[in-house]
């Protein structure tokens, strides 16, 4: 494993879905880069699940020939090397029947029990596959896009506009007031479930401005002393979560009533359940900073 995964300055580095968690066993490859001619591994995605099979008593990626029920193996994309084998990514239609010894396992969500490294490979494949599906046609003129060699980018042969994979920055922030911390309940969540303020970066904003705006919009509170704590790739399909801590400056929680229906101060003693998703940076920030 690479020493990168234990960098003490970047503890969030090793969160699931950040490729650093894969260490030196994974090397990314882009289209046009040559993979050694070896028997491949398959990262086959269906919705938010990954196809795995049991090898030597361990759930692993399928290896060698594509599974016999895999109808579109010629569409596979080489997305890197995994344990010295070319890693080929495919998406599978819902109506394909997966036969034993293969099975699917969710790679994200509260019920995900899949190994974090396999989940991370599935996340990378998911993001690339979604990008490929959504970048077939030029957004300016509608022509079929060409590949820009050695990148995931595309170029339009008709109008020459270029597109590169869309990654959407999203801040997530823990607001503190002494030993209290501010949590919110999203309108979509059940009673009793709380997490951190989060939201997408707007055009023309710095990340710090985005933190201030999101906290003010969702809770009516102003913040100061904003500190970066870590980030996480969130490939569902293409967010980048950027985590912060901030101090309360003024105001009492007043949820906006639309996106957020509850906003409250908690202490360690009154702490609600951690966010359901054990792989999220929200949970990581709360476990490390709500102390
Ligand atoms: Zn065009």
**Strand 41-46 with 85-91, pairing:** parallel
Best CA proximity match to 61, nearest among 80, 38, 89? 89
Cis peptide preceding 101, ω within 30 of 0: yes
Q: How far is the CA of 4 from the centre of ligand 1 (A)?
A: 41
Cα 268 to averaged position of ligand 1 atoms, centre (Å) = 55
Ligand 1 centroid to residue 280 C-alpha, Å: 37
Each residue's pLDDT tens digit, 27-60: 999 988 888 888 999 999 998 899 999 888 889 9
Q: How long, in residues, is the chain?
A: 291
Q: What band does 231 get if pLDDT is binned at 50, 70 and 90?
A: very high
Q: How far apart are CA 37 and CA 17, in angstroms?
A: 27
- Distance between Cα 170 and ligand 1 center (Å): 29
Rg (CA), the chain: 21
CA of 263 relative to ligand 1 center, distance in Å? 46
pLDDT band at 6 (very low <50, low <70, confident <90, very high): very low
Residue 163 CA to ligand 1 center (angstroms) comes to: 10
| Distance, CA of 242 to chain centre | 11
> How far is it, in rounded angstroms, from Cα 84 to Cα 63?
12
Q: Which whole number is the average pLDDT over 78-89?
A: 95
Evaluate whether 4 touches 13 at the Cβ level (below 8 Å). Answer: yes
Dihedral angle of Cα 158, 128, 70, 72, to the nearest 10 degrees: 0
pLDDT digits (tens, 9 = 90+) for 104-162: 999 988 777 899 999 999 999 999 999 999 999 999 999 999 999 999 999 999 999 99
Phi, psi of 75 (to 5 degrees): -85, 0
Q: How far is residue 262's CA from residue 256's CA, in Å, rounded to a whole number?
A: 9
In the chain, what are the domains?
Answer: 3-134 (3.90.79), 168-289 (3.90.79.10)
Please give the Cα distance from 182 to 254 (Å, whole number). 11
Ligand 1 centroid to Cα of residue 148, in Å, is 14
Residue 3: pLDDT band by 50, 70, 90 thresholds?
Answer: very low
């Amino acid at each position: 494993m690479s020493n990168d995964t234990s960098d003490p300055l970047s503890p969030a580095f090793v969160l699931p879905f950040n490729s650093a968690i894969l260490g030196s066993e994974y090397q990314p490859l882009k289209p046009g880069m040559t993979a050694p001619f070896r028997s491949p591994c398959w990262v086959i995605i269906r919705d938010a699940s990954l196809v795995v099979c049991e090898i030597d008593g361990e759930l692993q990626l399928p290896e060698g020939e594509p599974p016999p029920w895999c109808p579109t193996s010629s569409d596979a994309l080489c997305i890197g090397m995994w344990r010295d084998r070319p890693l080929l990514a495919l998406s599978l239609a819902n109506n394909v029947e997966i036969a034993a010894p293969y099975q699917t396992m969710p790679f994200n969500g509260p019920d995900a029990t899949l190994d974090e490294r396999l989940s991370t490979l599935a996340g990378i494949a998911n993001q690339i596959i979604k990008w490929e599906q959504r970048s077939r046609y030029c957004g300016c003129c509608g022509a079929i896009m060409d590949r820009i060699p050695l990148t995931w980018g595309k170029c339009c042969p008709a109008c020459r506009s270029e597109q590169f994979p869309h990654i959407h920055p999203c801040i997530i922030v823990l607001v503190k007031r002494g030993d209290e911390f501010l949590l919110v309940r999203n309108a979509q969540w059940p009673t009793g479930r709380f997490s951190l303020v989060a939201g997408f970066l707007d055009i023309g904003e710095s990340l710090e401005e985005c933190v201030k705006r999101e906290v003010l919009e969702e809770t009516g509170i102003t913040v100061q002393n904003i500190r970066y704590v870590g980030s996480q790739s969130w490939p569902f399909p293409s967010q980048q979560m950027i985590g912060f801590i901030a101090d309360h400056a003024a105001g009492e929680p007043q949820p906006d009533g639309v996106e957020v229906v509850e906003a409250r101060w908690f202490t360690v003693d009154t702490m609600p359940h951690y966010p359901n998703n054990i792989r999220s940076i929200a949970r990581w920030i709360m476990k490390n900073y709500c102390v």
